[in-house]
């Protein structure tokens, strides 16, 4: 079964897509935790970081290039931002299609909740 993110990538489900190419798609999070909250997702369904292979390294590197580009486009490159990837239960992962969060637009506070 396709993940909810695959359905966004192939246009079956609507989302505010801010970037798309043959490797990755980026769209605004439905429940934003910061003024800028974008998800950068490989078009290929990789469930978690644990499932990535050497073959995926180029695409995952490309996710950083897209994050950098979007941070500049959203006007947070200079003020700063956070890139986050959750993995499995303790990481708080909810959607099992690898994705990178891009947060910015306000001071983001300490890295982990105590």
Restricted to residues 72-101, the positions that interact with ligand 5GP (CB under 6 A) are 86, 92-95
Under the binding rule (CB under 6 A), the answer on residue 3 touching ligand 5GP is no
Instruction: Given the residues 37, 62, 97, 99, select the one marked as catalytic.
Output: 99
Is 97 assigned a catalytic role? no
Q: Which residue is nearest to ligand 5GP (CB)?
A: 30
SS3 letters for 44-104? CCCCCHHHCCHHHHHHHHHHHHHHHHHHHHCCCCCCCEEEECCCHHHHCCCCCCCCEEEEE
List interacting residues with ligand 5GP (CB under 6 A).
4, 15, 27, 29-31, 39, 86, 92-95
Residues tagged active-site: 99
């Amino acid at each position: 079964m396709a993940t909810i993110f695959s359905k966004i990538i192939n246009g079956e489900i609507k989302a505010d897509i801010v970037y798309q190419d043959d490797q990755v798609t980026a769209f605004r999070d439905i429940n934003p935790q910061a003024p800028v909250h974008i998800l950068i997702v490989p078009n290929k369904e990789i469930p978690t970081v644990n499932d990535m292979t050497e073959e995926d390294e180029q695409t995952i590197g490309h996710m950083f290039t897209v994050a950098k580009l979007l941070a500049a486009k959203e006007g947070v490159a200079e003020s700063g931002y956070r890139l986050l990837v959750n993995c499995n239960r303790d990481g708080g992962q909810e959607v099992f299609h690898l994705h990178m969060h891009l947060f910015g637009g306000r001071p983001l506070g300490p890295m982990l909740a105590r």
